[in-house]
Amino acid sequence: MRIIHHGAVNGVTGSCHQLDINPNSSILIDCGLFQGAETEGKTSVEQLEITFDITHITALIVTHCHIDHVGRIPYLLAAGFNKPIYATTATAALLPLVIEDALKVGVTRNKRLIDLYIKRLKVLLQPIDYKQWFNLEVNHIEVDTGSNTETKNNSIGYQRAKARFNVAGHILGSAYVEIELSHPLPAVKPTQTQLQNKSDTAPIDKDNSHLVVFSGDLGASDTPLLLSPQSPKRADTLVIESTYGDKNHHNRKHRADSLRRIIEKAVSDNGVLLIPAFSIGRTQELLYELEKIIFEQQQNPMWQSIDVIVDSPMAANFTEKYIQYKSLWDKEAKAVLKQQRHPLDFSQLYTIDSHQDHLAVINYLASRKKPAVVIAASGMCTGGRIVNYLQRFLAEPTTDILFVGYQAQGSAGRDIQTYGPKGGYVYIDGERIDIKAGVHTISGYSAHADQQDLINFVEGIQNKPKHIRIVHGDTSAKAKLAEVYQRLLPNVAIEIGTN
Ligand SMILES: [Zn+2]
Ligand SMILES: [Zn+2]
Protein backbone atom coordinates (compact mmCIF):
# COMPACT_ATOMS: atom_id res chain seq x y z
CA MET A 1 0.00 0.00 0.00
CA ARG A 2 1.31 3.41 -0.95
CA ILE A 3 -0.21 6.88 -1.04
CA ILE A 4 0.97 9.55 -3.44
CA HIS A 5 -0.31 13.07 -3.90
CA HIS A 6 -1.09 14.93 -7.11
CA GLY A 7 -2.08 18.11 -5.27
CA ALA A 8 -2.98 19.77 -1.95
CA VAL A 9 0.46 19.21 -0.46
CA ASN A 10 2.06 22.60 -1.14
CA GLY A 11 -1.07 24.46 -0.10
CA VAL A 12 -4.79 23.84 0.22
CA THR A 13 -5.96 23.49 -3.40
CA GLY A 14 -5.73 20.85 -6.11
CA SER A 15 -6.67 17.95 -3.81
CA CYS A 16 -5.94 14.65 -5.57
CA HIS A 17 -4.55 11.65 -3.71
CA GLN A 18 -3.74 8.24 -5.13
CA LEU A 19 -3.98 5.10 -3.03
CA ASP A 20 -2.06 2.22 -4.58
CA ILE A 21 -3.75 -1.01 -3.48
CA ASN A 22 -1.40 -3.26 -5.41
CA PRO A 23 0.79 -2.77 -8.50
CA ASN A 24 -2.23 -3.19 -10.76
CA SER A 25 -4.85 -1.17 -8.89
CA SER A 26 -5.13 2.33 -7.50
CA ILE A 27 -7.93 4.54 -6.30
CA LEU A 28 -8.05 8.32 -6.66
CA ILE A 29 -9.46 10.39 -3.84
CA ASP A 30 -10.64 13.76 -5.25
CA CYS A 31 -9.47 15.45 -8.40
CA GLY A 32 -9.46 19.17 -7.74
CA LEU A 33 -8.37 22.42 -9.28
CA PHE A 34 -5.40 24.49 -8.16
CA GLN A 35 -6.42 28.04 -7.34
CA GLY A 36 -4.93 31.49 -6.75
CA ALA A 37 -1.19 31.65 -6.18
CA GLU A 38 -1.09 27.83 -6.02
CA THR A 39 -1.42 27.56 -9.81
CA GLU A 40 2.28 28.59 -9.81
CA GLY A 41 1.83 30.70 -12.89
CA LYS A 42 0.77 27.74 -15.05
CA THR A 43 -1.89 28.39 -17.66
CA SER A 44 -5.27 26.92 -16.91
CA VAL A 45 -4.77 24.11 -19.42
CA GLU A 46 -1.34 23.19 -18.04
CA GLN A 47 -2.52 23.04 -14.48
CA LEU A 48 -5.69 21.13 -15.32
CA GLU A 49 -4.15 18.49 -17.49
CA ILE A 50 -3.87 15.02 -15.97
CA THR A 51 -0.16 14.25 -16.17
CA PHE A 52 -0.12 10.98 -14.20
CA ASP A 53 -0.81 7.49 -15.50
CA ILE A 54 -4.45 6.52 -15.04
CA THR A 55 -4.34 3.00 -16.54
CA HIS A 56 -4.46 1.25 -13.15
CA ILE A 57 -6.98 3.55 -11.53
CA THR A 58 -10.13 1.59 -10.84
CA ALA A 59 -12.27 4.29 -9.20
CA LEU A 60 -12.49 7.93 -8.18
CA ILE A 61 -13.88 8.72 -4.74
CA VAL A 62 -15.12 12.30 -4.26
CA THR A 63 -15.17 13.66 -0.69
CA HIS A 64 -17.17 16.83 -1.48
CA CYS A 65 -17.94 19.13 -4.38
CA HIS A 66 -15.77 22.19 -3.72
CA ILE A 67 -14.01 23.08 -6.96
CA ASP A 68 -10.54 22.51 -5.50
CA HIS A 69 -11.57 18.88 -4.89
CA VAL A 70 -13.48 18.16 -8.13
CA GLY A 71 -12.47 20.76 -10.73
CA ARG A 72 -10.11 18.50 -12.68
CA ILE A 73 -12.75 15.79 -13.25
CA PRO A 74 -13.49 16.99 -16.83
CA TYR A 75 -9.81 16.58 -17.62
CA LEU A 76 -9.80 13.14 -16.06
CA LEU A 77 -12.68 12.24 -18.38
CA ALA A 78 -10.82 13.80 -21.30
CA ALA A 79 -7.84 11.58 -20.44
CA GLY A 80 -10.10 8.56 -20.98
CA PHE A 81 -11.15 7.75 -17.42
CA ASN A 82 -14.19 5.47 -17.57
CA LYS A 83 -14.37 3.96 -14.07
CA PRO A 84 -16.95 4.58 -11.34
CA ILE A 85 -17.00 7.94 -9.56
CA TYR A 86 -18.28 7.37 -6.01
CA ALA A 87 -19.82 10.21 -4.01
CA THR A 88 -22.43 10.60 -1.28
CA THR A 89 -25.97 10.98 -2.57
CA ALA A 90 -26.04 14.74 -1.87
CA THR A 91 -22.61 15.30 -3.42
CA ALA A 92 -23.70 13.34 -6.49
CA ALA A 93 -26.69 15.67 -6.80
CA LEU A 94 -24.52 18.81 -6.52
CA LEU A 95 -21.59 17.65 -8.62
CA PRO A 96 -23.06 18.12 -12.14
CA LEU A 97 -23.99 21.75 -11.22
CA VAL A 98 -20.46 22.44 -10.01
CA ILE A 99 -18.78 20.83 -13.02
CA GLU A 100 -21.10 22.59 -15.46
CA ASP A 101 -20.25 25.93 -13.88
CA ALA A 102 -16.53 25.13 -13.84
CA LEU A 103 -16.62 24.22 -17.54
CA LYS A 104 -18.49 27.43 -18.41
CA VAL A 105 -16.17 29.67 -16.42
CA GLY A 106 -12.84 28.03 -17.14
CA VAL A 107 -13.01 25.87 -20.23
CA THR A 108 -15.72 26.37 -22.83
CA ARG A 109 -19.06 28.05 -23.52
CA ASN A 110 -19.86 25.38 -26.12
CA LYS A 111 -23.15 23.98 -24.88
CA ARG A 112 -22.86 20.75 -26.86
CA LEU A 113 -19.45 20.01 -25.37
CA ILE A 114 -20.63 20.86 -21.84
CA ASP A 115 -23.66 18.58 -22.25
CA LEU A 116 -21.39 15.75 -23.41
CA TYR A 117 -19.18 16.04 -20.34
CA ILE A 118 -22.13 16.21 -17.96
CA LYS A 119 -23.74 13.20 -19.61
CA ARG A 120 -20.49 11.22 -19.29
CA LEU A 121 -20.13 12.30 -15.66
CA LYS A 122 -23.67 11.20 -14.82
CA VAL A 123 -23.06 7.77 -16.37
CA LEU A 124 -20.02 7.21 -14.13
CA LEU A 125 -21.44 8.76 -10.94
CA GLN A 126 -22.41 6.26 -8.25
CA PRO A 127 -24.38 7.90 -5.40
CA ILE A 128 -23.81 6.12 -2.09
CA ASP A 129 -25.48 6.83 1.24
CA TYR A 130 -23.42 7.64 4.30
CA LYS A 131 -22.21 4.59 6.27
CA GLN A 132 -22.87 2.11 3.43
CA TRP A 133 -19.88 -0.05 2.54
CA PHE A 134 -19.27 -0.42 -1.17
CA ASN A 135 -16.75 -2.65 -2.94
CA LEU A 136 -13.94 -1.20 -4.99
CA GLU A 137 -12.63 -2.98 -8.04
CA VAL A 138 -9.19 -4.51 -7.44
CA ASN A 139 -7.18 -6.12 -10.21
CA HIS A 140 -5.67 -9.31 -8.90
CA ILE A 141 -2.04 -10.14 -9.02
CA GLU A 142 -1.00 -13.70 -9.51
CA VAL A 143 2.47 -14.86 -8.66
CA ASP A 144 4.17 -18.04 -9.75
CA THR A 145 5.81 -19.67 -6.69
CA GLY A 146 7.00 -22.81 -8.42
CA SER A 147 4.48 -25.63 -8.60
CA ASN A 148 1.53 -23.53 -7.31
CA THR A 149 0.22 -20.22 -8.43
CA GLU A 150 -0.51 -18.42 -5.21
CA THR A 151 -1.84 -15.09 -4.35
CA LYS A 152 0.86 -12.69 -3.29
CA ASN A 153 0.68 -11.23 0.21
CA ASN A 154 0.68 -7.65 1.36
CA SER A 155 4.35 -6.97 0.75
CA ILE A 156 3.09 -6.59 -2.79
CA GLY A 157 -0.34 -5.29 -2.10
CA TYR A 158 -3.91 -6.11 -1.19
CA GLN A 159 -6.50 -8.14 -3.00
CA ARG A 160 -9.71 -6.62 -1.78
CA ALA A 161 -10.92 -3.13 -1.01
CA LYS A 162 -14.14 -1.60 0.22
CA ALA A 163 -15.02 1.90 1.28
CA ARG A 164 -17.64 3.95 3.06
CA PHE A 165 -18.50 7.62 3.55
CA ASN A 166 -18.99 9.32 6.91
CA VAL A 167 -20.26 12.79 7.74
CA ALA A 168 -17.52 15.43 7.52
CA GLY A 169 -19.73 18.44 8.39
CA HIS A 170 -17.92 20.73 5.94
CA ILE A 171 -20.57 21.42 3.27
CA LEU A 172 -23.71 19.58 2.22
CA GLY A 173 -22.82 16.00 1.25
CA SER A 174 -19.22 16.27 2.44
CA ALA A 175 -17.60 13.10 3.72
CA TYR A 176 -14.45 11.58 5.01
CA VAL A 177 -13.85 8.16 3.57
CA GLU A 178 -12.70 4.91 5.15
CA ILE A 179 -11.04 2.45 2.78
CA GLU A 180 -10.47 -1.06 4.07
CA LEU A 181 -7.84 -3.09 2.26
CA SER A 182 -7.66 -6.82 2.86
CA HIS A 183 -6.50 -10.19 1.56
CA PRO A 184 -8.50 -13.30 1.28
CA LEU A 185 -7.56 -15.24 4.43
CA PRO A 186 -4.88 -17.81 3.57
CA ALA A 187 -6.50 -21.21 3.01
CA VAL A 188 -3.28 -23.10 3.61
CA LYS A 189 -0.41 -22.64 6.02
CA PRO A 190 2.43 -20.52 4.68
CA THR A 191 5.14 -22.54 2.97
CA GLN A 192 8.59 -23.07 4.58
CA THR A 193 10.12 -20.70 2.05
CA GLN A 194 7.63 -18.00 2.97
CA LEU A 195 8.28 -18.46 6.67
CA GLN A 196 12.03 -18.23 6.17
CA ASN A 197 11.75 -15.20 3.99
CA LYS A 198 10.23 -12.72 6.50
CA SER A 199 10.11 -9.85 4.05
CA ASP A 200 7.77 -11.92 1.94
CA THR A 201 5.30 -12.21 4.80
CA ALA A 202 5.04 -8.61 5.93
CA PRO A 203 3.06 -8.02 9.13
CA ILE A 204 -0.64 -8.31 8.63
CA ASP A 205 -3.09 -6.55 10.91
CA LYS A 206 -4.92 -8.86 13.26
CA ASP A 207 -7.96 -9.26 11.08
CA ASN A 208 -5.95 -9.30 7.88
CA SER A 209 -6.83 -5.76 6.87
CA HIS A 210 -5.54 -2.22 6.80
CA LEU A 211 -7.86 0.74 7.19
CA VAL A 212 -6.94 3.99 5.45
CA VAL A 213 -8.93 7.12 6.26
CA PHE A 214 -8.90 10.21 4.03
CA SER A 215 -10.34 13.17 5.92
CA GLY A 216 -11.34 15.26 2.88
CA ASP A 217 -12.17 18.66 4.36
CA LEU A 218 -13.47 18.42 7.91
CA GLY A 219 -16.06 20.89 9.15
CA ALA A 220 -15.84 23.00 12.27
CA SER A 221 -17.59 21.37 15.21
CA ASP A 222 -20.23 24.11 15.41
CA THR A 223 -20.95 24.72 11.73
CA PRO A 224 -24.55 25.87 11.39
CA LEU A 225 -27.00 23.48 9.68
CA LEU A 226 -24.69 20.49 9.36
CA LEU A 227 -23.86 17.59 11.65
CA SER A 228 -20.41 17.58 13.22
CA PRO A 229 -17.99 14.88 12.14
CA GLN A 230 -17.64 11.80 14.37
CA SER A 231 -14.24 10.12 14.46
CA PRO A 232 -13.93 6.66 12.91
CA LYS A 233 -13.50 3.72 15.31
CA ARG A 234 -10.28 2.72 13.68
CA ALA A 235 -7.72 4.14 11.28
CA ASP A 236 -4.39 2.45 10.58
CA THR A 237 -3.30 5.18 8.21
CA LEU A 238 -4.87 8.64 8.38
CA VAL A 239 -4.46 11.28 5.68
CA ILE A 240 -5.75 14.50 7.23
CA GLU A 241 -6.28 18.11 6.14
CA SER A 242 -4.65 20.92 8.13
CA THR A 243 -6.12 24.17 6.73
CA TYR A 244 -6.42 25.59 10.27
CA GLY A 245 -3.84 23.30 11.88
CA ASP A 246 -2.31 26.31 13.63
CA LYS A 247 -5.44 28.28 14.61
CA ASN A 248 -8.57 28.14 16.70
CA HIS A 249 -11.79 29.89 15.65
CA HIS A 250 -14.01 32.12 17.74
CA ASN A 251 -17.02 30.15 18.86
CA ARG A 252 -20.26 30.34 16.98
CA LYS A 253 -22.11 32.48 19.51
CA HIS A 254 -19.34 35.06 19.32
CA ARG A 255 -19.49 35.05 15.51
CA ALA A 256 -23.29 35.37 15.40
CA ASP A 257 -23.14 38.31 17.85
CA SER A 258 -20.53 40.04 15.69
CA LEU A 259 -22.67 39.44 12.61
CA ARG A 260 -25.71 41.02 14.28
CA ARG A 261 -23.78 44.04 15.59
CA ILE A 262 -22.02 44.72 12.29
CA ILE A 263 -25.27 44.51 10.31
CA GLU A 264 -27.11 46.81 12.75
CA LYS A 265 -24.39 49.41 12.52
CA ALA A 266 -23.95 49.04 8.76
CA VAL A 267 -27.57 49.53 7.80
CA SER A 268 -28.46 52.18 10.41
CA ASP A 269 -27.84 54.80 7.68
CA ASN A 270 -29.96 52.82 5.19
CA GLY A 271 -26.83 51.89 3.28
CA VAL A 272 -26.20 48.54 1.74
CA LEU A 273 -24.09 45.86 3.35
CA LEU A 274 -22.22 43.68 0.87
CA ILE A 275 -21.09 40.19 1.87
CA PRO A 276 -18.91 38.42 -0.69
CA ALA A 277 -19.44 34.69 -0.16
CA PHE A 278 -18.92 31.36 -1.89
CA SER A 279 -22.09 29.90 -3.38
CA ILE A 280 -21.77 26.51 -1.71
CA GLY A 281 -21.78 26.32 2.04
CA ARG A 282 -20.96 29.82 3.20
CA THR A 283 -24.05 31.44 1.64
CA GLN A 284 -26.39 28.88 3.22
CA GLU A 285 -24.69 29.20 6.62
CA LEU A 286 -25.15 32.96 6.48
CA LEU A 287 -28.83 32.64 5.54
CA TYR A 288 -29.34 30.26 8.43
CA GLU A 289 -27.71 32.69 10.87
CA LEU A 290 -29.65 35.67 9.45
CA GLU A 291 -33.01 33.95 9.76
CA LYS A 292 -32.13 33.15 13.37
CA ILE A 293 -31.32 36.80 14.14
CA ILE A 294 -34.49 38.04 12.40
CA PHE A 295 -36.52 35.55 14.43
CA GLU A 296 -34.88 36.57 17.72
CA GLN A 297 -35.28 40.28 16.93
CA GLN A 298 -39.04 40.14 16.41
CA GLN A 299 -39.51 43.34 18.40
CA ASN A 300 -36.86 45.22 16.45
CA PRO A 301 -38.40 47.13 13.49
CA MET A 302 -35.04 47.45 11.72
CA TRP A 303 -34.61 43.67 11.56
CA GLN A 304 -38.19 43.21 10.44
CA SER A 305 -37.73 45.60 7.50
CA ILE A 306 -34.32 44.43 6.30
CA ASP A 307 -34.08 42.88 2.83
CA VAL A 308 -31.70 39.97 2.43
CA ILE A 309 -30.72 39.57 -1.20
CA VAL A 310 -28.86 36.56 -2.56
CA ASP A 311 -27.68 37.62 -6.00
CA SER A 312 -26.33 34.42 -7.48
CA PRO A 313 -28.10 31.79 -9.58
CA MET A 314 -25.51 29.23 -8.46
CA ALA A 315 -26.12 29.95 -4.79
CA ALA A 316 -29.86 29.70 -5.40
CA ASN A 317 -29.41 26.25 -6.98
CA PHE A 318 -27.33 25.06 -4.06
CA THR A 319 -29.75 26.50 -1.52
CA GLU A 320 -32.48 24.44 -3.17
CA LYS A 321 -30.35 21.30 -2.75
CA TYR A 322 -29.69 22.18 0.89
CA ILE A 323 -33.45 22.31 1.38
CA GLN A 324 -34.02 19.09 -0.59
CA TYR A 325 -31.51 17.26 1.64
CA LYS A 326 -32.77 18.61 4.95
CA SER A 327 -32.63 15.07 6.31
CA LEU A 328 -28.87 15.70 6.59
CA TRP A 329 -29.27 18.83 8.77
CA ASP A 330 -28.27 18.86 12.41
CA LYS A 331 -30.67 18.65 15.35
CA GLU A 332 -30.84 22.40 15.89
CA ALA A 333 -31.74 23.12 12.27
CA LYS A 334 -34.39 20.37 12.26
CA ALA A 335 -35.90 21.85 15.41
CA VAL A 336 -36.17 25.20 13.64
CA LEU A 337 -38.11 23.48 10.82
CA LYS A 338 -40.47 21.96 13.39
CA GLN A 339 -41.36 25.50 14.50
CA GLN A 340 -42.63 26.11 10.94
CA ARG A 341 -39.68 28.39 10.26
CA HIS A 342 -37.82 28.22 6.95
CA PRO A 343 -34.15 28.92 7.66
CA LEU A 344 -33.10 29.05 4.00
CA ASP A 345 -36.31 30.45 2.55
CA PHE A 346 -37.65 33.15 4.87
CA SER A 347 -40.00 35.95 3.87
CA GLN A 348 -37.41 38.74 3.81
CA LEU A 349 -35.13 36.76 1.51
CA TYR A 350 -34.96 37.61 -2.20
CA THR A 351 -33.10 35.51 -4.71
CA ILE A 352 -31.92 37.09 -7.94
CA ASP A 353 -31.54 34.88 -10.96
CA SER A 354 -31.35 36.64 -14.33
CA HIS A 355 -28.67 39.15 -15.27
CA GLN A 356 -31.36 41.69 -16.06
CA ASP A 357 -32.78 41.40 -12.52
CA HIS A 358 -29.25 41.66 -11.16
CA LEU A 359 -28.76 45.03 -12.86
CA ALA A 360 -32.23 46.16 -11.81
CA VAL A 361 -31.49 45.34 -8.16
CA ILE A 362 -28.34 47.44 -8.22
CA ASN A 363 -30.36 50.43 -9.44
CA TYR A 364 -33.13 49.76 -6.94
CA LEU A 365 -30.67 49.60 -4.05
CA ALA A 366 -29.06 52.85 -5.11
CA SER A 367 -32.41 54.65 -4.77
CA ARG A 368 -34.07 52.80 -1.86
CA LYS A 369 -34.40 54.09 1.70
CA LYS A 370 -34.41 50.83 3.57
CA PRO A 371 -31.70 48.54 4.95
CA ALA A 372 -30.42 45.72 2.76
CA VAL A 373 -27.87 42.94 2.96
CA VAL A 374 -26.52 41.55 -0.30
CA ILE A 375 -24.77 38.19 -0.50
CA ALA A 376 -23.01 37.52 -3.80
CA ALA A 377 -20.10 35.53 -5.15
CA SER A 378 -17.21 35.32 -5.56
CA GLY A 379 -16.03 35.08 -1.99
CA MET A 380 -12.74 36.84 -2.68
CA CYS A 381 -14.20 39.50 -5.02
CA THR A 382 -12.19 38.07 -7.91
CA GLY A 383 -15.18 37.76 -10.25
CA GLY A 384 -18.90 37.11 -10.24
CA ARG A 385 -21.73 39.51 -9.52
CA ILE A 386 -20.17 41.01 -6.40
CA VAL A 387 -17.86 42.93 -8.75
CA ASN A 388 -20.74 45.05 -10.13
CA TYR A 389 -21.85 45.85 -6.57
CA LEU A 390 -18.36 46.90 -5.59
CA GLN A 391 -18.04 49.13 -8.64
CA ARG A 392 -21.36 50.78 -7.86
CA PHE A 393 -21.23 51.06 -4.05
CA LEU A 394 -17.65 50.90 -2.76
CA ALA A 395 -17.08 54.63 -3.14
CA GLU A 396 -20.20 55.49 -1.07
CA PRO A 397 -19.73 56.21 2.65
CA THR A 398 -23.11 54.63 3.52
CA THR A 399 -21.93 51.26 2.14
CA ASP A 400 -20.34 48.56 4.26
CA ILE A 401 -18.56 45.43 3.19
CA LEU A 402 -18.24 42.39 5.41
CA PHE A 403 -15.70 39.62 4.83
CA VAL A 404 -16.54 36.25 6.33
CA GLY A 405 -14.04 34.10 4.47
CA TYR A 406 -10.35 33.81 3.80
CA GLN A 407 -9.03 36.47 1.38
CA ALA A 408 -6.01 35.20 -0.56
CA GLN A 409 -2.97 37.35 -1.23
CA GLY A 410 -3.44 39.27 -4.47
CA SER A 411 -7.26 39.11 -4.51
CA ALA A 412 -9.39 42.28 -4.70
CA GLY A 413 -10.93 41.18 -1.40
CA ARG A 414 -7.55 41.20 0.33
CA ASP A 415 -6.79 44.67 -1.10
CA ILE A 416 -10.11 46.07 0.16
CA GLN A 417 -9.45 44.49 3.56
CA THR A 418 -5.93 45.96 3.72
CA TYR A 419 -6.36 49.42 2.16
CA GLY A 420 -10.04 50.16 2.87
CA PRO A 421 -9.62 51.05 6.55
CA LYS A 422 -6.70 53.38 5.61
CA GLY A 423 -8.87 55.30 3.15
CA GLY A 424 -7.14 53.68 0.19
CA TYR A 425 -8.30 52.41 -3.17
CA VAL A 426 -8.57 49.18 -5.09
CA TYR A 427 -8.44 48.20 -8.76
CA ILE A 428 -11.49 46.24 -9.84
CA ASP A 429 -11.66 45.09 -13.44
CA GLY A 430 -8.94 47.62 -14.25
CA GLU A 431 -10.91 50.49 -12.72
CA ARG A 432 -9.54 52.42 -9.72
CA ILE A 433 -12.16 52.80 -6.99
CA ASP A 434 -11.66 54.81 -3.81
CA ILE A 435 -12.90 52.85 -0.82
CA LYS A 436 -15.28 55.00 1.20
CA ALA A 437 -17.27 52.03 2.46
CA GLY A 438 -16.82 50.66 5.97
CA VAL A 439 -14.79 47.46 5.93
CA HIS A 440 -15.43 44.66 8.44
CA THR A 441 -14.14 41.15 8.91
CA ILE A 442 -15.50 38.34 11.02
CA SER A 443 -12.67 35.89 11.25
CA GLY A 444 -13.32 32.27 11.95
CA TYR A 445 -16.55 32.01 9.96
CA SER A 446 -15.06 28.98 8.40
CA ALA A 447 -16.35 25.72 7.07
CA HIS A 448 -13.10 24.12 8.22
CA ALA A 449 -12.16 22.38 11.43
CA ASP A 450 -9.78 24.39 13.58
CA GLN A 451 -6.80 23.00 15.45
CA GLN A 452 -8.88 21.80 18.40
CA ASP A 453 -11.34 20.07 16.05
CA LEU A 454 -8.44 18.34 14.29
CA ILE A 455 -7.08 17.19 17.65
CA ASN A 456 -10.51 15.94 18.72
CA PHE A 457 -10.91 14.01 15.47
CA VAL A 458 -7.73 12.02 16.15
CA GLU A 459 -8.35 11.69 19.89
CA GLY A 460 -11.77 10.23 19.13
CA ILE A 461 -10.33 7.33 17.12
CA GLN A 462 -10.41 4.28 19.41
CA ASN A 463 -7.83 2.21 17.53
CA LYS A 464 -5.26 4.89 16.92
CA PRO A 465 -3.46 5.28 13.60
CA LYS A 466 0.03 3.88 13.03
CA HIS A 467 0.70 6.56 10.44
CA ILE A 468 -0.65 10.04 10.04
CA ARG A 469 0.04 12.00 6.91
CA ILE A 470 -0.74 15.72 6.98
CA VAL A 471 -1.90 17.43 3.76
CA HIS A 472 -4.06 20.37 2.62
CA GLY A 473 -2.48 23.26 4.53
CA ASP A 474 0.07 26.04 4.35
CA THR A 475 3.58 25.17 5.52
CA SER A 476 3.15 26.62 9.00
CA ALA A 477 -0.28 25.02 9.55
CA LYS A 478 1.05 21.57 8.57
CA ALA A 479 4.16 21.92 10.74
CA LYS A 480 2.20 23.11 13.77
CA LEU A 481 -0.35 20.32 13.49
CA ALA A 482 2.43 17.71 13.08
CA GLU A 483 4.01 19.03 16.28
CA VAL A 484 0.73 18.88 18.19
CA TYR A 485 -0.05 15.35 16.96
CA GLN A 486 3.45 14.12 17.78
CA ARG A 487 3.07 15.36 21.35
CA LEU A 488 -0.32 13.69 21.58
CA LEU A 489 0.81 10.37 20.03
CA PRO A 490 4.56 9.99 20.62
CA ASN A 491 4.69 6.49 19.06
CA VAL A 492 2.88 7.30 15.86
CA ALA A 493 4.74 8.02 12.62
CA ILE A 494 3.66 11.52 11.62
CA GLU A 495 4.69 12.87 8.26
CA ILE A 496 3.92 15.86 6.12
CA GLY A 497 2.75 14.98 2.62
CA THR A 498 4.96 15.92 -0.33
CA ASN A 499 4.68 15.27 -4.03
ZN1 LIG B 1 -13.82 22.11 0.81
ZN1 LIG C 1 -10.34 21.62 0.49
Domain positions in the chain: 2-247+447-496, 252-441
1-12 pLDDT, tens digit per residue, is 899 999 988 888
Average pLDDT, the chain: 89
Pairing relationship of beta strands 25-29 and 57-61 according to DSSP bridges: parallel
pLDDT at res. 288: 95
Residue 202: is its pLDDT beyond 60? no
Least confident of 125-139, 187-201, 445-459: 187-201
Does residue 314 sit in helix, strand or coil? Answer: helix
- In this prediction, residue 126 has a pLDDT band, given cuts at 50, 70 and 90, of very high
CB 202 within 8 A of CB 154: yes
CB 239 within 8 A of CB 471: yes
Q: Which ligand is nearest to the CA of 174?
A: 1
Peptide bond into 26 cis (omega under 30): no
260 CA → ligand 2 middle, Å: 28
371 CA → ligand 1 middle, Å: 32
226 CA → ligand 2 middle, Å: 17
| CA dist 192 → 141, 157, 161, 198, 392 (Å) | 22, 21, 28, 11, 81
Does residue 425 sit in helix, strand or coil? Answer: strand
pLDDT at res. 142: 67
- In this prediction, residue 458 has a pLDDT band, given cuts at 50, 70 and 90, of very high
Peptide bond into 312 cis (omega under 30): no
Give the class (CATH, top level) of 2-247+447-496. alpha beta
DSSP class of residue 450?
A: B
Task: Quote the distance between the C-alpha of residue 425 and its chain's center.
Answer: 32
Give me the percent of the chain exceeding a pLDDT of 90.
70
Q: Which ligand is nearest to the CA of 7?
A: 2
pLDDT at res. 279: 85
Fold equal for 2-247+447-496 and 252-441: no
308 CA → ligand 1 middle, Å: 25
pLDDT at res. 190: 56
Q: Which ligand is nearest to the CA of 243?
A: 2
pLDDT at res. 183: 84
472 CA → ligand 2 middle, Å: 7
Q: Which ligand is nearest to the CA of 175?
A: 1
Give me the percent of the chain exceeding a pLDDT of 70.
90
The span from the CA of 124 to the CA of 129, in Å, is 16
CB 437 within 8 A of CB 394: yes
Higher pLDDT, 43 or 61: 61
Q: Which ligand is nearest to the CA of 281?
A: 1
How many CB atoms are located within 10 Å of the residue 400 CB? 24
184 CA → ligand 1 middle, Å: 36
170 CA → ligand 1 middle, Å: 7
pLDDT at res. 199: 43
pLDDT at res. 436: 96
CATH placement of domain 252-441? 3.40.50.10890
374 CA → ligand 2 middle, Å: 26
Residue 147: is its pLDDT beyond 70? no
246 CA → ligand 2 middle, Å: 16
422 CA → ligand 1 middle, Å: 32
The span from the CA of 136 to the CA of 312, in Å, is 38
